[in-house]
Chain A
Amino acid sequence: MSVVLRRLADAFALLGGGILLAIVAVTTTNAFAFILDRIAGLFGTDVAGLPGYEDFVQLAISCAALMFFPYCQANRGHVSVELLTNRMPQALQRAIDLLWLGVTIAVALFLAYWMIFGMREVRSDQVVTSVLGWPSWPFYIPGLLSMILWALIAADQVFGDAANA
């Protein structure tokens, strides 16, 4: 189970990274079009950029950002303050850790729960982006799955952090 979950979190992170690279590709293309347009402007012509690319970045980044959460949890990357607890007895440290894992699971499930309603609402309201006119609701799905996976990873950590898969 642990191994499967970790692989899944890794896949989500890499997919999120792929989306980031897609943003890089689209944005770079657009920026070069902008430079060409400046040059073409000297000769009285225009080079078009990719219309609505800001819409695309906005939708894409919403997926990538949330897809990073489970991998971050799997690697204990969500920062915390190390000050008092280091000097506490080992058992107490472990108890506190379990408590916070419990809260993390609750938060992740809470967010997933509400996101389901959010997605349904955005879908029934037929919300679209302003330039591309793409519907927003499908872009809730990666985030929703990420929240569930995040909760599962944290739940798995309750039984001890797995060795790197």
Chain B
Amino acid sequence: MLDPISIGVIGLVVLFVLLLLRMPVGIAMIAVGIGGTWVLSQSVSYIRFVPYLKQFKTLLWENVANYDLSVVPLFVLMGYVAAEARLSTDLFKGLEALMSRLRGGVAMAAVAACGGFGAVCGSSLATAATMGRVSLPELKKLGYAPSLASGSLAAGGTLGILIPPSVALVIYAIIVEGSILRMFQAAIVPGILAVFGFIAVIAIQVRINPSLAPEPTQMDQDEKRRAIRRLWPVVAIFGAIILGLGFGLFTPTPAASIGVFTITAYGFVLRAVTGEGLAFSGLLTAIRATAITSGMIYLILFGAEVLKGFFARTQLPQALSEWAATSGMEPMMILVIMLCIFVVLGCFMESLAMILVVVPFFWPTLIALNGGEYVTAETAAFGMDPDSLKIWFGILALIVVELGLITPPVGLNVFIISSLARDTSMGTVFKGVVPFLGAEVVRVGLILLIPALTLAVPRLIGG
């Protein structure tokens, strides 16, 4: 008879094998959760399988009937409506008008537009897809090297996940029972750092190899004025959502609702006035896209709930955190190892699934390493109280998770960009992404060494 902890370890291995065999992530989590509990019930007398199954009477419904989680589909919808209302185009065109006089300026505008679009879109993939569709043709027309164009967009897409609102941050906050708002506030500085880091990467690249970007050309004055005029409403709406969220005028669900309402209303008005903007069919398209993304997220969330029940019964998470707390290893070292595990897993796993599978193991371990739930900043191993640790680790984890979106062999953003730019091979996109990865490593290092980069904003606003 196996002991529960070994069964837990085997369950974890089986889960990864099933995932590698392309089993849908949510289904794999449910299957391993139920199957694992059956195995457990065979060797542990106090775990009974049939009563366990009866949990499923209400488990699914109670899992989705959750007020806090309602922000997830709302943020997803907000992003798709903004794309359908062509706010993404307005954003890119406006920034292009402002930056086109620099060498590489249009690529910079594309990255900045990704950052801006991240303010209404909760997902990296949606950001990469939307902004890629808008700006790749333009970059190609102007004669940008395919590697720079596609690399900028694949990297820029990752901004969707970090710049608030972010679905991944919402889910992280719910797992660790932290404040969604504080997570969003903490992400602001790292997000801005990323935008500037990426722009710097483009500037350096074209300085070293000018053939990557064409000579800057003068835009037609009328077109330029018109583009800038259309930029302001977008900046105002996106800015209001970010500030409203960031400064806590509203809690997340109302903020997301107001965002959807405002963008939809603006899109309809724009349509009525100019003939562009949001059509009713566009709204339906946005809803269908929301259904696919939200359906996927909710299934993985439910899978995580089922898996949690199994792993808790194996006592594996407790055993891991006890081991880490007594191993005598440097806490900082363990944190870096955890981040490396995220990067490696990110090479083949979807980011949300990764957060849901891995964070429940890492978080209790970190808390134990730091000195427990009630430790004060002065005596804590990481020099911060548990609430700050929660925020800091969440931002770090999110950044390394998003790295996985642009690293080989499986970089979902890279897939999306290479499918949009049909004449650019995946290899070219990966090559174009490498310099941006360099900027990311620097950023992770900075955030790791200077926790204030993440913690200062929530402290300032939240007091």
Contact = CB atoms under 8 A, between A and B. Distances in A.
B22 A104 contact: no
A114 interface: yes
A107 to B, nearest CB: 5
Contacts of A71: 288, 291-292, 295
Interface residues of A, number: 59
B353 A85 contact: no
A64 B71 CA distance: 13
Given A14-B287, A57-B253, A79-B25, A72 B67 contact: no
B298 A66 contact: yes
Task: Classify the secondary structure of A's interface with B.
Answer: helix
Interface in B314-360: 348-350, 353
Contacts of A73: 295
A31 B261 CA distance: 12
Contacts, number: 188
Interface string B274-295: 0000000000100110111111
Contact of A118 (B23, B61, B69, B73): B61
Contact of B21 (A27, A34, A84): A84
B98 interface: no
B65 interface: yes
B67 A58 contact: yes
Contacts of B23: 80, 100, 103
A28 B265 CA distance: 12
A25 B70 CA distance: 14
Contacts of A96: 21-22
Contacts of A21: 260
Given A20-B77, A68-B294, A80 B53 contact: no
B290 A82 contact: no
Interface centre among A20, A65, A140 (most CB of B within 10 A): A65
A10 interface: yes
Category for how many chain B residues contact A: 35 or more
A79 B300 contact: yes
A135 interface: no
Contact of B27 (A17, A75, A103): A103
B31 A103 contact: yes
B288 A114 contact: no
B27 A107 contact: yes
Contact of A117 (B57, B65, B287, B300): B57
A64 to B, nearest CB: 7
Contact of B64 (A17, A24, A65): A65
A164 B287 CA distance: 17
Contact of A69 (B53, B261, B299): B299
Contacts of A122: 58
Contact of A81 (B22, B30, B294): B22
Contacts of B69: 61, 65
Interface of B: 19-27, 30-31, 53-54, 56-61, 64-67, 69-70, 73-74, 77, 250, 253-254, 257-258, 260-261, 284, 287-288, 290-296, 298-300, 348-350, 353, 409-410
